[in-house]
Amino acid sequence: MSGVVFIASLVVSLALVHRPLGDYMYRVYSGTRHSAVERVVYRLIGVRPDAEQTWGGYARAVLAFSAVSVLALYGLQRLQDRLFLSLGMGPVPDHIAWNTAISFVTNTNWQSYSGESTMGHLTQMAGLAVQNFVSAAAGMSVAIALVRGFARGRTDLLGNFWVDLVRGTIRILLPIAFVGALTLVAGGVVQNFAGPQELTTLTGGAQDVTGGPVASQEIIKELGTNGGGFYNANAAHPFENPTSWTNWIEIFAILLIPFSLPRAFGRMVGQVRQGHAITAIMAVMALTSVTLTGVFELSAGGTVPQAIGAALEGKEVRLGVADSAAFAAATTLTSTGAVNSFHDSYTPLGGMMTMVDMMLGEVAPGGAGSGLYGMLVLAVITVFVAGLMVGRTPEYLGKRIGPREIKLAGAYFLVMPILVLVGTALAMASPEQRASMLNSGPHGLSEVLYGFVSTSNNNGSAFAGLTVNTPWYDVVFGLCMVIGRFLPIILVLGLAGSLATQSAVPESAGTLPTHRPQFVGMVIGVTVILVALTFLPSLALGPLAEGLS
Amino acid sequence: MLEPHRLLTSLPDAIRKLNPATLWRNPVMFVVEIGAAFTTVLAIADPSGFAWAITGWLWLTVLFANLAEAVAEGRGKAQAATLRAARRDTTARRLRNGTPDGRAAWDVVGAAELRQGDVVVVEAGEIIPGDGDVVEGIASVDESAITGESAPVIRESGGDRCAVTGGTKVLSDRIVVRITRRPGESFIDRMIGLVEGADRQKTPNEIALNILLAALTIIFLVGVATMQPLAIYSKAQNPGIPDTLTLDSDGVTGVVLAALLVCLIPTTIGALLSAIGVAGMDRLVQRNVLAMSGRAVEAAGDVHTLLLDKTGTITLGNRQASEFVPVDGVSELELAEAAQLASLADETPEGRSVVVHAKRAYGLRERRPGELEHAEWAAFTAQTRMSGVDVNGRRIRKGAAAAVTEWIVVNGGRPGGDVAAIVDGVSASGGTPLVVGEATEDGARALGVIHLKDVVKEGIRERFAEMREMGIRTVMITGDNPVTARAIAREAGVDDFLAEATPEDKLALIKQEQEGGRLVAMTGDGTNDAPALAQADVGVAMNTGTSAAKEAGNMIDLDSSPTKLIEIVEIGKQLLITRGALTTFSIANDIAKYFAIIPAVFAAVYPGLDVLNIMRLHSPRSAILSAVVFNALVIVALIPLALRGVRYRPASASKLLSRNLSLYGLGGIVAPFVGIKIIDLLLPVMS
């Protein structure tokens, strides 16, 4: 019951907040004035803020920024012992440093290391936390560029990436993160510069636990749908997520921006109802997933869960089964990947839901920015498949979906499944990689599958149970993250460029309405069917085989 | 629609199309063919009834797809044969120096040697050797070879009826024709190419759909290929389980893998896509419309604005008497009788309509001119602008208001103020007033006014309401003044009108609509329509029109029917809907196939997966075979739908979508569950 209140209060709060925040984001990205701070930043990086970019220019800017970020983050990790606040940690091993640099720049935050025993405070704050902000802002920028493609006509200009990046960081993420961090501190999350402290555990043993700037890191980790924890235990750690209350705030922060962006989208294309439709698609899928995950976890049928009354393995007693399941759904439905419980220990079908959430392409509501652009690509594909049935060349928001658009949207749709399927097949075909699996049988397969689904979708959560800090996995998962992030971004920007050059076709009674429940149902149907069709064989041999036995 | 003999006659073509060199253009069916070849090799290496059965059905799948295309093309071929007969080798009498006047100075040359600008002379009984314009003379021409219409048409020099088509026959008189096209590029050649589908190019929408289908094929190819290591691992994890027909220690068997792949890739739409396109063009040909490109047919479905000529499309060809308005002191019957008498000698359509109206509204029997003795008839002429009769000292005249008024004055009468008032009233309502006057020994007077008006075609208002529901704006084009135009526009229910329209106005209107992103369709026939026809997204030229108009448009209506445009729009929409419906159906089908094949392959190692066998198919072997058989048969079952197009009723996008989604989306999910189950039940009976 408390689980229902927990989820219902989240739904109500998001419903209340998404509108003003969406409107605010619309103003941020549509404004023409630059603040003094922003002007200083533009001067420092040598950007003319009023010069707009074509899709190619925008894409090059995203890629250049990300490449520089990877190098900087890699360097910082490798040199951390020679800088200050290292807490005595040595340089991060090269394959882990490469994996981590990519992981944080791609908004994945896959962690093949344990934070408290690998990263010093400087690396955490100047490296990882900075990327938590800017990788989210970069994702939002790309989404906004795509929206501009829909909103504009007869132009090849999509805005200026640097301006979108700076505004997203300074005007949206920083203020919310500031307030959120203080709230978390009030809720009991740690925020200090302390070194290791010795604590006495429940069993009477002694344990060293590092303090640190946790709350500030925690909030942007959720808000930017990043997910990289200060501690290895991530949001299950009592210093990161001590109570039900902080748990609620963290889930709220995860869903806040992804659910508000459709509102900004509706405002930018001048039809608020189109934004409502996108929100509705996301909300229906998200609520279904949260409910199913909760039901599977609460009705666990194994011997131990029956005996103790709940499937508590891998979950924190202080958070409970229902709230943990809600967190698990939220973190995989977005590209967050923070965890407050261990998905490996979930019931087979509950664990499958976390994979299905990501396999949907992380669109319900998805990552900061990436959720919106992923969903819009799905809307384009849906319009194309079903829209023909109204007897017109398919159009979405007045833009025709022709060969070029479908080529880009189709290629976008191919990237993630191919990475996941090929990656999983390679790993399962190799005895050395199979050795990384903790379990045998279908559960072992699920562990590998989850790893590829998580990295290719830039989620970053781990099923756990797979030893991934090996050079092979570090490199391959690194590639999955890079390709899974940037290839779709390039395709989305190409799509935006192609849409922007078209002049809008006026709406008439013959136009496929894309704001009605009918359309909402269609997008959900197409998404679920395409995902089911792509991943059913692998799911059948992993979690389904386990869950149905 | 799909007679068995047509399937049979198309079979050789279907087999010819198995050639991979041509099949690769259809990526989906190309993959099926590779799969079929692959299982053939496996079946030869390791023969089993199951392997051969799958192999056979995979080949049939490709063959059925080819058959669909061949049948669609077969219809056009028959038509092309008729056209070829018309293009038989003719000789031409080419005038020397290209001058029309040297009557005797011609050379006899083969029609194939004619070049643009050559001038030929054609006399009664001869075949016109090439496309051109009549530069001298007038003749009746039998154009049945291309239009199918046996009544001869008149072709004359100058004006909008000067274009002649090669292959048609002059029935009377003699004309001199300037050739406008080279042989091989003539209208009839293009027509043959079009109906045969020889130079059919894929339309943008077809290309886009092919890209999507290719993407889905890639996904399933990767999905099926990458399943193998997972299957090997799963089998190895359960060492006690014996090898089965579907799964052994090397993973899923090759035959099953190929079967799964073929079932999953969108074969239904892949097989029928090209047939749908060919059949769509063919439906136009059946209605005697030639589309110069498939692009134009698709654009017809997208049209936002229809420009319709008033005369012939919205109204009947001519104005008709609709009311008799008498002046004070004259009864309606009296006026009707006088009007009828005065019109008996008027053979113009307007005059006839007065007689008809008098009969219909007042029961006045039509009298023959001979019935009245001593009657002296005054026929309508353009000079007098009136007609009438003199009988028994009474002279009656009917005609243009100004002409009759003057006649009354000349005969010593005064027309009176109320006539002028009625005349003005009729004019203001958009009608044409004809005044009826009589002159006797006592003097002359006006009896009243005949109200002539444009008669809107029956049912056209409903047609426009449908158009509006489909989101199409109708604009009436007329040379009438704005008052008249507005009245007719209101009565016909068009959304807008362009009065006193000149060709420049039309062109400007089209550009203005297109500026706002709208697609415009129009019909035209005259040379001065050519720029507008070229500018319009769908320009339908009348076959009776000038060659300039036919050149400028992207469709030609052989019937020269102005309402054809509406049918063309519907055909365009139907084409797109058919494509969308079958795509949706095809993708929705996959769900059932997974439920058939996944448990069949893996339930041996993971018995729990048997719950996915919700159709309770009786064995893995039967399950897989049933899925493959269904997949092949559904193509054949849908060929008639692909050729005929889905049923199309004009409705708003929202209604159309609801209907088609439930029919082809939900139907596509449910149908294979039922179909596969039935085949599963029948297979043991048959073998």
In a domain, A314, yes or no: no
Q: Give pLDDT, residue B99.
A: 55
Residue type, A316: E
**Residues from chain B contacting residue A513 (CB–CB below 8 Å):** 653-654
**How far A242 CA lies from chain B's nearest CA (Å)?**
40
* Class of residue A435 by CB neighbours under 10 A (exposed 0-12, middle 13-18, buried 19+): exposed
**Residues from chain A contacting residue B222 (CB–CB below 8 Å):** 417-418, 421-422
Asked if residue A115 lies in contact with residue A104, where contact means CB atoms within 8 angstroms, the answer is: no
**Residues from chain A contacting residue B572 (CB–CB below 8 Å):** 391
- Peptide linkage before A365 cis (omega within 30 of 0): yes
**Is B204 close to A421, i.e. CB distance below 8 A?**
no
Q: Report the length, in residues, of chain B.
A: 687
Q: Give pLDDT, residue B87.
A: 67
% of chain B exceeding 70 in pLDDT = 97
Q: Are strands B305-309 and B473-477 parallel, antiparallel or unpaired?
A: parallel
Contacts with A190 (C-beta within 8 Å, 6 or more apart), sequence order:
A211, A212, A214, A215, A239, A240
What ipTM was assigned to the predicted interfaces of this complex?
0.93
**Residues from chain B contacting residue A402 (CB–CB below 8 Å):** 204-205, 208
Distance CA A453, CA A450 (A): 5
Q: Give pLDDT, residue A60.
A: 97
**How far A381 CA lies from chain B's nearest CA (Å)?**
9
Which residue do the tokens 């992030």 mark? A485
Q: Report the length, in residues, of chain A.
A: 549
CA B390 and chain centroid, separation: 53
- What range defines the domain where residue A483 resides? 367-548
Partner residue opposite A385 with nearest CB, options B468, B587, B602: B587
Tokens matching residue B79: 């038509």
Number of domains comprising chain A = 1
Tokens matching residue B139: 């003749």
Summarize chain B as % helix, strand, coil (round to 5). Answer: 55, 20, 25
**How far A246 CA lies from chain B's nearest CA (Å)?**
40
Residue-wise pLDDT for B501-552, tens only, equals 888 888 999 999 888 888 999 988 777 788 888 999 999 988 877 778 888 8
The residue in chain B having the minimum alpha-carbon distance to the alpha carbon of residue A383 is: B580
**Is B653 close to A406, i.e. CB distance below 8 A?**
no
**How far B484 CA lies from chain A's nearest CA (Å)?**
29
* Class of residue B177 by CB neighbours under 10 A (exposed 0-12, middle 13-18, buried 19+): buried
CA angle B96, B98, B103 (to 5 degrees): 55
The residue in chain A having the minimum alpha-carbon distance to the alpha carbon of residue B212 is: A410
| Candidate from A25-39, A73-87, A354-368, A396-410 with smallest mean pLDDT | A73-87
Measured on CA atoms in the order B119, B125, B130, B135, is the torsion positive or negative? positive
**Is A425 close to B225, i.e. CB distance below 8 A?**
yes
- pLDDT confidence band for B143 (50 / 70 / 90): confident
- pLDDT confidence band for B284 (50 / 70 / 90): confident
In a domain, A519, yes or no: yes
- Residue B3 CB neighbour total at 10 angstroms: 9
Contacts with B20 (C-beta within 8 Å, 6 or more apart), sequence order:
B30, B33
In a domain, A308, yes or no: no
Q: B233, B252, B515, B519: which to substitute to probe chain A, counting the most A Cβ within 10 Å? A: B233
| Candidate from A184-188, A286-290, A310-314, B573-577 with smallest mean pLDDT | A310-314
Contacts with B220 (C-beta within 8 Å, 6 or more apart), sequence order:
A533, A534, B261, B264, B265
Q: A389, A397, A412: which to substitute to probe chain B, counting the most B Cβ within 10 Å? A: A389
**Is B587 close to A529, i.e. CB distance below 8 A?**
yes
Distance CA B368, CA B321 (A): 20
The residue in chain A having the minimum alpha-carbon distance to the alpha carbon of residue B260 is: A537
The residue in chain B having the minimum alpha-carbon distance to the alpha carbon of residue A428 is: B229
* Catalytic residue numbers of B, as ranges: 309
Partner residue opposite B204 with nearest CB, options A402, A441, A506: A402
Which residue do the tokens 């510069």 mark? A193
**Is A385 close to B665, i.e. CB distance below 8 A?**
no
Q: Give pLDDT, residue B369.
A: 61
In a domain, A291, yes or no: no
Q: Give pLDDT, residue A517.
A: 93
**Is B591 close to A532, i.e. CB distance below 8 A?**
yes
Measured on CA atoms in the order B218, B219, B222, B223, is the torsion positive or negative? negative
Between A490 and B94, the more confident residue is A490
**Is A389 close to B298, i.e. CB distance below 8 A?**
no
In a domain, A65, yes or no: no
**Is B602 close to A545, i.e. CB distance below 8 A?**
yes
**How far A498 CA lies from chain B's nearest CA (Å)?**
14
Q: Give pLDDT, residue A117.
A: 82
Residue-wise pLDDT for B218-235, tens only, equals 999 999 999 999 999 999
Distance CA A9, CA A2 (A): 10
Helix axes A403-429, A370-387, angle to 10 degrees: 120
Helix axes A321-333, A2-30, angle to 10 degrees: 30
The residue in chain B having the minimum alpha-carbon distance to the alpha carbon of residue A535 is: B223
Q: A388, A397, A426, A501: which to substitute to probe chain B, counting the most B Cβ within 10 Å? A: A388
| Candidate from A298-307, A347-356, B458-467 with smallest mean pLDDT | A298-307
Residue-wise pLDDT for A474-486, tens only, equals 899 999 999 999 9
**How far B351 CA lies from chain A's nearest CA (Å)?**
43
Distance CA B157, CA A356 (A): 74
**Residues from chain A contacting residue B302 (CB–CB below 8 Å):** 392-393
Average pLDDT over residues A524-530: 90
* Of B399, B253, B323, B595, the residue nearest A540 (C-alpha): B595
Distance CA A274, CA A262 (A): 8
Query: Is the confidence at residue A437, as pLDDT, over 90?
Result: no
Residue type, A313: E
Q: What DSSP designation does A362 have? A: S
Partner residue opposite B660 with nearest CB, options A389, A511, A540: A389
Q: How far is CA B588 from CA B176, B354, B411, in A?
A: 62, 62, 84
Q: Give pLDDT, residue B153.
A: 82
Residue-wise pLDDT for B105-122, tens only, equals 788 888 878 888 888 889
Interface A-B, measured as beta-carbon pairs within 8 A, has a size of 219
**How far B333 CA lies from chain A's nearest CA (Å)?**
49
Partner residue opposite A537 with nearest CB, options B227, B588, B607: B227
Query: Is the confidence at residue B563, as pLDDT, over 70?
Result: yes
**Is B573 close to A387, i.e. CB distance below 8 A?**
no
**Is A387 close to B580, i.e. CB distance below 8 A?**
yes
**Residues from chain B contacting residue A421 (CB–CB below 8 Å):** 222-223, 226
Q: Give pLDDT, residue B392.
A: 81
In a domain, A503, yes or no: yes
**Residues from chain B contacting residue A387 (CB–CB below 8 Å):** 580
Q: How far is CA A102 from CA A73, A132, A133, A478, B609, in A?
A: 9, 12, 15, 6, 38
**Residues from chain A contacting residue B264 (CB–CB below 8 Å):** 533
Asked if residue A335 lies in contact with residue A460, where contact means CB atoms within 8 angstroms, the answer is: yes
Q: A392, A395, A412, A533: which to substitute to probe chain B, counting the most B Cβ within 10 Å? A: A392
Distance CA A158, CA A409 (A): 18
In a domain, A391, yes or no: yes
For residue B588, the SS3 value is helix
In a domain, A528, yes or no: yes
The residue in chain B having the minimum alpha-carbon distance to the alpha carbon of residue A398 is: B517
**pTM to 2 decimal places:** 0.89
Q: What is the mean pLDDT of chain A?
A: 92
Between A292 and B686, the more confident residue is A292
Partner residue opposite B229 with nearest CB, options A425, A533, A534: A425
Euclidean distance between the first and final Cα of chain B, in Å? Answer: 32
